[in-house]
Amino acid sequence: MQLTNVVVQANLGCSFDLRELAYRLPNVRYDPRTFSALIWQHRKIGGNCLLFSNGIINCNGKCLSIQDGRRRLRRYARLLQQMGNDVRLTQVQILTASASHQLSGRVDPYRLPSEFSFEPEIFSRRHVSSSRHAFHLPSLRETQRHLRGIGQDMSDTGTHRVLPLRSLPDTPTVEVRDDSGLFGLL
């Protein structure tokens, strides 16, 4: 399994004038009419940084480890501190960690838990989720070919139960997002 993205958030303990920072920092975008945060893409640090006026900082982008995501967060905070802001990095938390994993064998569709559901009104057709895990299949065409019976409504909420799968490839690629804990499924 390989991590593909880590989203880390923290509180900097101070407030910011985002308009002033937008004039002082390179490679930033700030338009309060469209989005309330300053979007900062530092060339050497990498990834994206969202900085909100209340001191919340959010870093995301291609990370190969959780430590790399936290390191990026600290580097962005250090640059803000060097500009004269009273920054104290607190409440560091991982919001999302995404990974991809190449399965070595076939997936038995009859062993999939019955609580997995498909919600086309909320997510794209490639998203299959349960209460703990979310799976993203590689392409829409493959999903339509492998998830059969997904249009059958099973409740009043628009939740669709995934019916038995057919013609799965020998080595499917599945992307896993686990918001409850780091990859308890695999």
Residue that wins the pLDDT comparison between 183 and 123: 123
Tokens describing residue 86: 């009273």
Rounded mean pLDDT, 150-162: 36
> Among 98, 122, 145, which residue terminates a domain?
98
Residue 9 shares a structural domain with residue 79 = yes
pLDDT at 1 over 80: no
pTM tops 0.85, yes or no: no
Please report the pLDDT score of residue 167 as a whole number: 35
What's the CATH number where 8 sits? 3.30.310.10
Please report the pLDDT score of residue 2 as a whole number: 74
pLDDT at 149 over 80: no
Q: What residue numbers bound the domain in which 117 lies?
A: 103-177
- The angle at the Cα of 179, spanning 43 to 9, to the nearest 5 degrees, equals 40
- Weakest mean pLDDT among 52-56, 97-101, 106-110, 150-154: 150-154
Q: How far apart are the first and last CA of the chain?
A: 9
How many distinct structural domains can be found in the chain?
2
Q: Which residue has the tokens 């991982």?
A: 94
Residue 43 lies in a domain: yes
Residue 71 shares a structural domain with residue 127 = no
Residue 77 shares a structural domain with residue 136 = no
Residue 8 contacts by C-beta under 8 Å, 6 or more apart in sequence? 58, 59, 60, 66, 69, 70, 72, 73, 92, 93, 94, 95
Cα distances (angstroms) measured from residue 179 to each of 14, 99, 132, 133, 176: 28, 12, 7, 7, 10
> Among 76, 98, 120, which residue terminates a domain?
98
Please report the pLDDT score of residue 133 as a whole number: 53
Please report the pLDDT score of residue 96 as a whole number: 81
Confidence band for 97, pLDDT divided at 50, 70 and 90: confident
